[in-house]
Structure 1
């Protein structure tokens, strides 16, 4: 079945959608050019040492603009993987984080994987949804080498509003400096920091196999939550699943761009609005997953506003409340977390003390355009 996503070249659909209350997660977790003090990161503060990886400190080029992204043919290497994972997990130890999402792996060095190992990584992550690899040398590699590893899994995405290391805009930085005390301001308007999202779903071809690795972290806190959107779909009744099939939703980048402008930040590429199916199919596992999130999903196509809000709220709440299909990943030095952005949602937690640095880097390969396959059920309905 052909992909069922499209780009809305005009913004009228997005402009009709109220955005009151939409708060971009980057506002809480990322530095911006107006509140970033590089001297404190390079020299340290009274309470915090200098940044461990100054080559990864954020920069913002206010003059650089990028053209709209063009479509490309994506190939998922998980299709070529040996399902027994002899090249990926040889000598490694796997511990499941929960019964239905997540694993922790030790004894495997991602930077040493050959092509067969990377193929197996794509499949393993698609199956586990999120995997934390411990004791990695990823952060110590030259940045281009890290990008070369990530580039095996798809075309690099350049984030339209985030800072990146000097010369490497393909790296998305999650950075709150040691002098950053804006969390107290954030919680003046919010009771919690949970902001469920899948990354940049407003793109025609959102990311797939995604890498996030820690550079500096607080003494405690700053963990990341992940939700299994395949399991979230499975929890719905067959009749409800059937009703969702064929529905499409608008995903918008406009609010994130405006939030960046409001904070004195950059917009490197003009925002777009795309339509994606509410239920998408993974190209390798064949699993169906809910594909929506409160950060970027604005409206169900063909529904009136109240109807759309009613259904979206149910689905957002269903994902957020599904603690039995969620996992919490704790960061530690040398950790690289790899997840499949197509079938998960995630949220960082702003629960560490002000005045401690949290600094991570993300490599974000794009994948195929979201598509859905026909609804199927094996349930027998008695007459």
Structure 2
């Protein structure tokens, strides 16, 4: 099953059938005394159905920053600490809510180069609300509407993660000994996301961290001969399992757009930096095109194990209030850590997910499904 991927043109909007209007059932008296500050951003599920996504021309804002005389000038008055040599920076002293267009372009380039950038003290950004979130995201690409996740009522472009003592509206694995599931967001789309923004509106006292890994570094650690072979390969990424998860009544039970499968290079090239990165992930990659099942499984298992175990390619974000995290889905993978279940505390996050270009691999690689 292969379709092109995506913008919503005009869609029917029947009345909402499911809205998470209340917070956790536990301690309701306390909630009534002190209403949840971000109740207007709780997950909402409706019967809206969207047509297939359609291709579009993506112009990466980071490319515009390359011609700037100082493409890091937005950091001139900031404190920047590198989380690891190859992945991630933590920034203090920049107010994201006040960045102009040029500074946002520079931000896109910085995120492309570092893979992950963590901004502290961003209360103004978070409290600007969903209209601002959409305006922010549209600077970086066409906003993706997730086919199965919850969103704030009236703002389907804002993807929400949510778990409390009694409810979860996340795509979570129940039958595994670990909650770590590396992925690049919705990589099954024809034009998957590039620069992505996430922040938490509520977080547990401890736990609920997010792991990131550099797919650029992961690739570089492989032997030159093996990398040369991987450049000749392409793989199928599928949204079917995620849709089936919702059709089974979980996450809200909604599938707004029929799932797609698309073929992407196993090694993709970043359009601005020119860096190569692995582009497979355990959550959405299903098979390597043209190889027999055992061959495909052997290669993917090796790559997944490499991604899972290479702590020297990874960085960990420990969430604090008013933290905003940006990463480039083209050159990183990530995983939530669901280690806070027993606390019964709420973890409520909002993600702004602009789509980017169709992944490009080595010159001459045919990305048709049959080739």
Q: What range is the shorter-chain TM-score in? A: 0.7 to 0.9
Match of 2:2 among 5, 8, 12: 8
The answer to whether the 8 A contact 2:238-2:284 is kept is: yes
RMSD: 2.4
**Are 2:36 and 1:51 equivalent residues in the alignment?**
yes
Q: Distance in 2 between matches of 1:320 and 1:244?
A: 18
Gaps of 5+ in 1: 1-6, 11-32, 376-383
Q: Shift of the alpha carbon at 1:316?
A: 0.5
Match of 1:238 in 2: 224
Ranges in structure 2 where 5+ consecutive residues have no aligned partner: 5-16, 365-371
Question: What is the deviation of 1:227?
Answer: 0.4
TM-fit CA distance, 1:138 = 1.9
Question: CA–CA distance in 2 between the matches of 1:76 and 1:263?
Answer: 37
Q: Is 2:20–2:43's contact at 8 Å kept on the other side of the alignment?
A: no
The range that moved more, 339-348 or 45-54, is: 45-54
CA distance in 2, matches of 1:165, 1:83: 40
**Paired residue for 2:61?**
77
Q: Which structure has more RCO (C-alpha within 8 Å, separation ≥ 6)?
A: 1
| 1:173 lines up with 2:156 in the alignment | no
Superposition map of 1:12-161 within 5 A: 38-41=21-24, 45=28, 50-61=35-46, 63-81=47-65, 82=68, 84-136=70-122, 137-161=124-148
Q: Is the 8 A contact 1:281 1:287 kept in 2?
A: yes
Query: Matches of 1:113 and 1:214 in 2, distance apart?
Result: 20
Residue 339 of structure 1 aligns to a residue whose secondary structure is: strand
The CA deviation at 1:47 is: 7.7
Q: Is the 8 A contact 1:181 1:355 kept in 2?
A: no
The CA deviation at 1:99 is 1.4
1:55–1:232 CA distance, 2 compared to 1 (3 A):
same
Match of 1:328 in 2: 316
1:355 pairs with 2:344: yes
Q: 1:131 to 1:336 in 2, by over 3 A?
A: same
Change (3 A) 1:197 1:326: same
For residue 21 of structure 1, what is the aligned residue in structure 2? none
> Hey, what's the Cα distance between the residues in 1 that align with 2:360 and 2:168?
42
Q: 1:228-377 counterparts in 2 under 5 A?
A: 228-264=214-250, 265-352=253-340, 353-374=342-363
Deviations along 1:122-147, one digit per CA (max 9) or x if unpaired, are 01001110111011122200311121
The TM-score, its normalising length taken from structure 1, stands at: 0.85
Shift of 1:111: 1.1
Deviation of the 1:55 alpha carbon: 1.5
Using a 3 Å threshold, how does the CA distance of structure 1 residues 363 and 186 change in structure 2: closer, same or farther?
closer
Name the SS for the 1:319 alignment partner. helix
- 1:157 match: secondary structure: coil
Change (3 A) 1:297 1:47: farther
Please state whether the residue corresponding to 2:198 is helix, strand or coil: strand
Q: Secondary structure at the match of 2:22?
A: helix
TM (norm. structure 2) is: 0.87
- Residues in 1 aligned to 2:169 and 2:197: alpha-carbon distance in whole angstroms: 27
- Name the CA shift for 1:88/1:205 in 2 (closer, same or farther; >3 Å): same
CA change 1:8–1:39 in 2 (3 A) is closer
| Superposition deviation, residue 85 in structure 1 | 3.7
Deviation beyond 6 Å, 4+ runs, structure 1: 46-49
Taking the aligned partners of 2:80 and 2:289, their CA distance within structure 1 comes to 42
Q: How far apart are residue 51 of structure 1 and its match?
A: 2.8
